[in-house]
């Protein structure tokens, strides 16, 4: 069980800056995120795309922004609980008891939901039949590649995940790579390697095709694929792997009794508290009149939510506003030498 002042759900830029704002006013935060790295959408969706509207930073990539935010919160030694998803919130007295999918328990008076539009999950095959084979012959990620040794595998997708795994698995298995169009969007080196493996007869490439049906009872025996002109091909296969990127699902957040407006959580703009005391929502997941889905708005929202958290974390203290330029207390928290 971990006791803290604030549990933050999500590790995107908004969450990271909230850690900083909390740290400055002396509050400790723990951060939980479903992804395997910090940065949220910045890291997952557009790490290389430049962003032009961060104040005082004319241009930076999602990756650089994340790196800089991590640097900025270094003094606070924050714990990140990655690859974990918050499943349950229960109010116990004046505090919240938070449980993750790995059964980790946090006790905190405050929760800040900075969850983007929910947690990232792999996009799945559009066929209903694919569901019943999931985890046995249909996969969206690979934990142990030995599982696929000496088997027939169909890999779907046109990005680097599909290409990487086609290259890797073709060493010990028969791989068919299927993609909806002729072009692949992976890095040139991967595309060259795959094309070479095709020439050498190590990989079969089927483009432009998409999945059409799955045959088999307990496990997959064969699939059919279809092109734009409805031409159908049958492929015998043991496994199918889909690499269609990630999609955001609201997930358990929808079950916590929070008011919801479609996929967003309405908040007040004074401290970004939701309809539940001690639960705040900031960044893309929050909504209010005039809401702008910008990173800079998320920063502002985090700063105000942090002050909101102070009340419940330090009920007997009075919050005093201070500037980072002059406050000795803040300098101490940042580990800066007094001058």
The footprint of other proteins (CB under 8 A) covers: 41, 45-46, 49, 117, 123, 126, 157-159, 179-181, 183, 185, 210, 228, 244-245, 247-249, 263, 284, 293
Which residue reads 């080196």 in tokens? 189
Please check whether residue 214 is in contact with residue 220, taking contact to mean a CB–CB distance below 8 angstroms: yes
CA distance 3 to 160: 40
Quick one: how far is CA 278 from the chain centroid?
24
- The packing angle between helices 13-24 and 62-72, to 10°, is 20
For the CB of residue 41, give the shortest distance to other proteins in the complex, in Å: 7
The C-alpha angle 45, 50, 54, rounded to 5 degrees, equals 100
Q: How far apart are CA 283 and CA 296, in angstroms?
A: 9
Which residue pairs, CB below 8 angstroms and at least 24 apart, start in 265-268? 265/113, 267/301
Minimum separation from the CB atom of position 323 to other proteins (A) = 33
DSSP string over 193-204: HHHHHHHTTSEE
Q: How near is the Cβ of 243 to other proteins at its closest, in Å? A: 9
- Give 46 or 147: the residue with its C-beta nearer to other proteins: 46
Provide long-range contacts, Cβ within 8 A and 24+ apart, for 247-250: 247/120, 247/121, 247/122, 247/123, 248/116, 248/117, 248/118, 248/119, 248/120, 248/121, 249/118, 249/119, 249/120, 249/121, 250/117, 250/118
Shortest Å, Cβ 183 to other proteins: 8
Place of tokens 């490439």: 205
Cβ at position 181, least distance to other proteins in Å:
7
Q: How far apart are CA 7 and CA 35, in angstroms?
A: 16
To other proteins, the closest distance from the beta carbon of 211 in angstroms equals: 10
Complex with other proteins: residue 288 or 319, whichever CB lies closer: 288
Q: Which residue lies nearer to other proteins by CB, 104 or 124?
A: 124
Residue 196 burial (CB count, 10 A): 12
Shortest distance, CB of residue 244 to other proteins, whole angstroms? 5
Of the two residues 95 and 226, which places its CB atom closer to other proteins in the complex?
226
- Which residue do the tokens 């996969």 mark? 139
At CA 126, angle to CA 262 and CA 265, rounded to 5? 15
For other proteins, the closer of residues 242 and 308 by Cβ is 242
Distance CA 159, CA 24 (A): 41
Q: Which is nearer to other proteins, 106 or 156 (CB)?
A: 156
In this complex, which beta carbon is closest to other proteins, that of residue 30 or of residue 284? 284
- Closer by beta carbon to other proteins, 104 or else 180: 180
User: Closer to other proteins at the Cβ: 159 or 266?
Assistant: 159
Which residues are bridge partners to 183 per DSSP? none
Report in angstroms how near the CB of residue 208 gets to other proteins at its nearest.
9
Please report how close the Cβ of residue 299 comes to other proteins at its closest, in angstroms: 16
């Amino acid at each position: 069980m971990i006791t803290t002042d604030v549990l933050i759900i999500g590790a995107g830029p908004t969450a990271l800056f909230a850690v900083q704002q909390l740290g400055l006013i002396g509050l400790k935060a723990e951060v939980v995120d479903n992804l395997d790295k910090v940065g949220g959408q910045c890291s997952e969706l557009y790490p290389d795309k430049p962003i032009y509207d961060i104040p005082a930073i004319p241009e930076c990539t999602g990756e650089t922004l994340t790196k800089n935010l991590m640097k900025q919160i270094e003094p606070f030694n924050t714990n990140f609980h990655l690859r974990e998803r918050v499943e349950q919130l229960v109010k116990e007295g004046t505090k919240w008891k938070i449980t993750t999918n790995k059964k980790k328990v946090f006790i905190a008076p405050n929760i800040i939901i900075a969850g983007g539009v929910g947690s990232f999950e792999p996009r799945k095959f559009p066929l209903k039949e694919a569901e019943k084979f999931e985890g046995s012959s249909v996969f969206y990620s690979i934990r142990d590649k030995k599982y696929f040794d000496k088997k027939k595998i169909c890999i779907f997708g046109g990005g680097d995940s599909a290409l990487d795994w086609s290259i890797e698995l073709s060493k010990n298995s028969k791989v068919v790579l299927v993609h909806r169009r002729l072009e692949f969007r992976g890095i040139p080196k991967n595309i060259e390697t795959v094309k070479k493996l095709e020439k050498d007869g190590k990989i079969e490439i089927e483009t432009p095709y998409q999945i059409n049906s799955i045959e088999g009872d307990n496990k997959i025996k064969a699939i059919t694929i279809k092109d734009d002109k409805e031409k159908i091909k049958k492929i015998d296969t043991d496994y199918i792997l889909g690499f269609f990127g990630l999609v955001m699902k609201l997930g358990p957040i929808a079950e916590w009794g929070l008011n919801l407006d479609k996929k967003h959580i309405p908040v007040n703009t004074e401290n970004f508290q939701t309809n539940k005391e001690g639960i705040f929502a900031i960044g893309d997941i929050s909504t209010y009149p005039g809401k702008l889905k910008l990173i800079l708005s998320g920063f502002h929202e985090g700063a105000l939510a942090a002050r909101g958290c102070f009340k419940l974390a330090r009920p007997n203290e009075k919050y005093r506003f201070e500037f980072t330029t002059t406050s000795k207390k803040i300098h101490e928290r940042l580990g800066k030498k007094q001058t």
